[in-house]
């Protein structure tokens, strides 16, 4: 008889949690409660400090990449420009504190096409910031001559400012 009581007690105990579980699931499915709205803080734009002249100071600069697209002027020999770029432009401009990397490329063609590329040369400068670059150019006395020489070689160069967003 003791064995039967133990079995009966076990079966009752096993049934009770099962009932509670079913009651809870029923309550969850029949009861609909609206989710609590999240409290969001309003974002307030921080105002930049005002300089002595009354203008707002510039925001901190971000790293940027300058891509310069150009062709050579008529009468300029490619070998002369390429020699100048290797010996003068890249060492001086690439040596500025704000320039992390400076490369010059020559276009060979358009992938999958026999058409001529619209630009023959590309300069790619990775800089710490545009303000820093402008400041460094002003501090380096040789940069004025480099910029003037570049204008003698390049025909209407296009300076594209880019921002990395992937990869």
* Alpha carbons 2 and 75: distance in angstroms, whole number: 113
Write a three-state SS string for 35-96.
CCCCCCCCCCCCCCCECCCCCECCCCCCCEEEEEEEEECCCCCHHHHHHHHHHHHHHHHCCC
pLDDT higher than 70, residue 80:
yes
Point out the least confidently predicted range of 43-47, 62-66, 85-89, 145-149.
43-47
Please state the pTM of the whole predicted model. 0.63
pLDDT at residue 73, as a whole number: 98
Which domains does the chain possess? 72-162 (3.30.70.100)
Around Cβ 99, how many Cβ atoms within 10 Å? 20
Place of tokens 């062709």: 71
Element of type H or E holding 34? none
Element of type H or E holding 123? strand 121-127
Query: Per-residue pLDDT tens for 6-52?
Result: 555 555 555 555 555 555 555 555 566 666 666 666 666 566 566 66
* Alpha carbons 145 and 120: distance in angstroms, whole number: 23
% of the chain surpassing 90 pLDDT: 60
pLDDT at residue 167, as a whole number: 86
Mean pLDDT of the chain: 82
pLDDT at residue 46, as a whole number: 61
pLDDT higher than 90, residue 2:
no
């Amino acid at each position: 008889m003791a064995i039967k009581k133990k079995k009966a007690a076990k079966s009752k105990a096993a049934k009770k949690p099962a009932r509670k579980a079913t009651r809870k699931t029923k309550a969850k499915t029949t009861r609909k409660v609206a989710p609590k709205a999240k409290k969001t803080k309003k974002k307030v734009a921080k105002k930049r400090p005002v300089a002595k002249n009354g203008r707002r100071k510039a925001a901190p600069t971000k790293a940027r990449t300058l891509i310069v697209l150009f062709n050579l002027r008529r009468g300029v020999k490619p070998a002369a420009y390429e020699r100048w770029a290797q010996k003068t432009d890249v060492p001086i401009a690439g040596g500025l504190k704000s320039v992390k990397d400076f490369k010059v490329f020559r276009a060979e063609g358009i992938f999958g096409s026999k058409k001529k590329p619209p630009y023959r040369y590309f300069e790619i400068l990775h800089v710490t910031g545009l303000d820093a670059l402008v400041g460094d150019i002003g501090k380096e006395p040789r940069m004025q001559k480099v910029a003037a020489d570049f204008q003698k070689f390049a025909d209407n160069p296009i300076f594209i400012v880019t921002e990395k967003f992937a990869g």
